Every structure is written in C-alpha cells, then in structure tokens.
Structure 1
Amino acid sequence: MKNSRISSRKGFTLVELLVVIVIIVTLMAILIPVVGKVRQNAVKLQAKNALTTLVTSVDTYYSTYNILPANSRSAPSEDTEVETTEPIMSVLAGINVDGMNKKEQVFYSGEAARGSSKNSAFNGLWLDNNTAELYDPWRKKGNNRGYILLLDYGYNEKLDDPFKPGRIIARRAVGWSSGKDGEWNRSGAKAGANKDNVYSWFN
C-alpha cells in the first residue's frame, strides 16, 4: 500500500510566488542605486587617471623643450586655459604642429576614443590624419567634451585657482573635466554646475 502522506504538490502556490517577487523587487531597489554609484565612480576614476597622465605629459614636454606646449607658436604670456580638443593635443600626441614638436615625441598616449566619428567620440584619444583630440569618458554633445588644461604661460610655476579666487596652485599645469553634464563655471569647485567635475590637483 502506498504512503498516502507523500505529497503530490508541485510548484509554488500563488502566495509563495508573490513573496518571491516582492523579495526580488526589494533586492533590485537596493542594488540598482549601488550599481549605478559604483559605475559612476569608475567613470570618474577613468577621468582622473587620464588627467594625471595628461598633466604629466605637459611636464614631460616642458622637460624636453624647456617651454610649455601651446596651440600655436605665438603662445600667450599669462596663465591660459586650453582644451584637449584644440591643436595642443596634437602636439602632445607626437605630431609636429608648426614646429612645436620637432622630435615628434609622443608625450601623451592612451586608449583610442570610442565612437564612430569625431562628433560622437568619447573616452579616449581620437587620431584623424595629422590631428589628435582627447575626450573625457562621458557621451556628451556640444562643448566641453574634452578636458580643460590651465597652463602657466607666465612661467612662475604658480597658477590662480580658477574656482577659488586668491588661492594659488604651485604647479605648471592642472586640468579638469566638466563631468557628465558638460557644464562648469568659476564658482566653487564642487558647487552647482561643478559638482560632478573631476580635477587633477585634488579629489
């Protein structure tokens, strides 16, 4: 005689299924913001590493030529901001623009930019014929897709902090990214449009 106590139940009851669904939804609600934050921090770290390499490449250029790289031979005579979507990036990438890198030495090298064209490029170096442009890790349209460099064309190894009037940065070059929103201004370094910026000289 068969044991009548052996259960013939198969699968979940409706209540059990609802409990499982609630647990899954709760876990997703907890994990999605965490995963998003981790990803955001990883992208910012990419930008920070690129800025460190970029500023180092400027210092190495200076050590090689005893002058700072510029967009043209008629370089400014005071601290000036330049962008890595301008000719200065070609010079740092090893291209002899207007005789400014006669040795054709590569001072900045990094991963190739992603994207199908220069207009959609992001996260790396875009090389096109005899030009180079460096883009930050965020997919952005319009301006501020690259990094901004502040260079000591006054040659006193002092830079006026663009985000804190009166403060001096004792360096030859610093750089920053305008972050995901592509916006920055001269207010506090971590306020308003600047809150998602990434900087080479502090965290």
Structure 2
Amino acid sequence: MKTHPTRRKSGFTLVELLVVIAIIAVLAGAGFAAGNAAIQKARKTTALAACTAIDQAVSQFYAEYGAMPTKDTTSGETDAPALDTKTDKEFLNILLGLNETANPPLNTRANKFLSVKEGKKKGTTDGTNGIIYNADGKTVLGLFDPWGGTYKVILDTGYDERVMPAPKGGGGPVNPLNGRHSATWSDGADGVGAAAGNAADDVKTW
C-alpha cells in the first residue's frame, strides 16, 4: 500500500511569530533610542546658537555704548549674579531695542543687538525654544531653551574683561574666563545646573 507524506499546513507557528515580534521590538527600541539621541543633539545645537547670539549681542552692545546692558552698578572683580532670561526681562528688552522701564534707557538708539528665533508660548508665563513677545510686541515674556528652561548670563559688570561662572557643585575654585564680556549657558534637558553638581548636559559658550 502506497503511503503519502504528511504535508505541513502553511502559516507560522507560535514560536516563529514570537521570534518575529521579538526582533521587531528590538529594532523599534534601537530606532527610538537613535531618534531620541538625534533630537537631543538638534536641541543642543539650537541652544548653543542662542547662547552664542546672546554673547555676541552683549559684545556688540558694549562696543556701541561702552557699558553692559544692565542697570547693575557692581564694580571691581566680583561680577553680578547670573541673569535669567525669564525673570530678567529688562536685559532682553535692552538688547532688542524694545521698551525699557528705566529712564533714561540704556539702549538710547533702540538698536536690535539680539537676533534669535521666536519660540512657542506655553500658558501665560512660559515658553519653549525661542523668544516670546508680549501681546503688545513692545516687550518680551522671556527667552526659553528647547527644553522649556531658560538661559543664564553672567555679565562683566566689573569691566575687567573677565567673567566667573559658578563651578560644578557650587564649590571649589572659580576659574575665570578672561577676555570675555559675558558667559551664557542653558542647564540642558534635566534643568539642573552646575551649582547643584549636575552639569553633564549643560550647553555653554566656554
């Protein structure tokens, strides 16, 4: 009697399906990690461009007026505390040639020294990835980094062409930056600065 070989039914077995699903999951995870790394790199590039623009604006303002774009009158070797581009709006208004609260204004010619991209508003007091103007267009709400944080700026209010950013962890020696009118940085994705001991992802101009 002639026997016929048993034919396997077409389709995948459960094991084969699980293997395929596992491979897809691994590839998707790798793709997500690579994509997130690319996004963070692009954000750091954007943040560095803004930091550099601020430093350049300060230098241009100093070349024009022979002064720092601030009302602070600190003199000597100790520089004023770092400005924040959300809370210290007057600093931005001065660099942008917008309305100043002080009389007389520092930017008397209303020159626009700072050029940065316009960001997106978040709520009524925050923003992300650029400068946010108030509704009247005559003043600013703030300048925000790509993570929704702000930029910090130390100015050479001592007029000795040196600035001294805080060291990591808030302790240890302060290394002055010579030949500078300002130093600007962003605390990065984690929003934690050098003073707290976490500066690995900071974006800075030095």
**TM-score, normalised relative to structure 1:** 0.80
- Specify the alignment match of 1:75 in structure 2: 73
Mapped contact 1:96–1:102 kept (Cα < 8 A): no
Aligned position for 1:4: none
Distance between the aligned counterparts of 2:125 and 2:143, measured in 1?
Answer: 12
CA gap of 1:160–1:11, structure 2 versus 1, over 3 A, is: same
**What CA distance in whole angstroms lies between the structure 2 residues aligned with 1:42 and 1:116?**
21
- 2:201 is aligned with 1:200: no
1:131 maps to 139
The residue number in structure 2 matching 1:147 is: 151
What are the ranges of 5 or more consecutive residues in structure 2 without an aligned counterpart? 1-6
Give the Cα separation in 1 of the matches to 2:126 and 2:198: 23
Asked if 1:105 corresponds to 2:111, the answer is yes
Q: For structure 1, list consecutive stretches of 5 or more residues without a partner in the other structure.
A: 1-6, 140-144
Contact 2:165 2:183 in 1 (8 A): no
Indicate the residue corresponding to 1:3 in structure 2. Answer: none
Which letter does structure 2 place at the counterpart of 1:84?
Answer: T
- Distance change >3 Å, CA 169–CA 14, structure 1 → 2: same
How far is the alpha carbon of 1:14 from its aligned partner?
4.3
Q: Conserved in 2, the CA contact under 8 Å of 1:96 and 1:103?
A: no
State the aligned residue count.
Answer: 184
| C-alpha displacement of 1:120 | 3.2
After superposition, the CA RMSD in angstroms is 2.3
C-alpha separation in 2, matches of 1:84 and 1:118: 16
Offset at 1:43? Answer: 1.1
Structure with the greater relative contact order (CA < 8 A, sep ≥ 6): 1 or 2? 2
Q: Deviations over 1:74-125 (max 9, x none)?
A: 5332412211121101111221412111111111122112124442311100
Q: Deviations over 1:52-88 (max 9, x none)?
A: 1111011011111111101x3x533241221112110
Instruction: Answer yes or no: is the 8 Å Cα contact 2:154–2:165 preserved in 1.
Output: no
Partners of 2:10 and 2:97 in 1: CA distance: 69
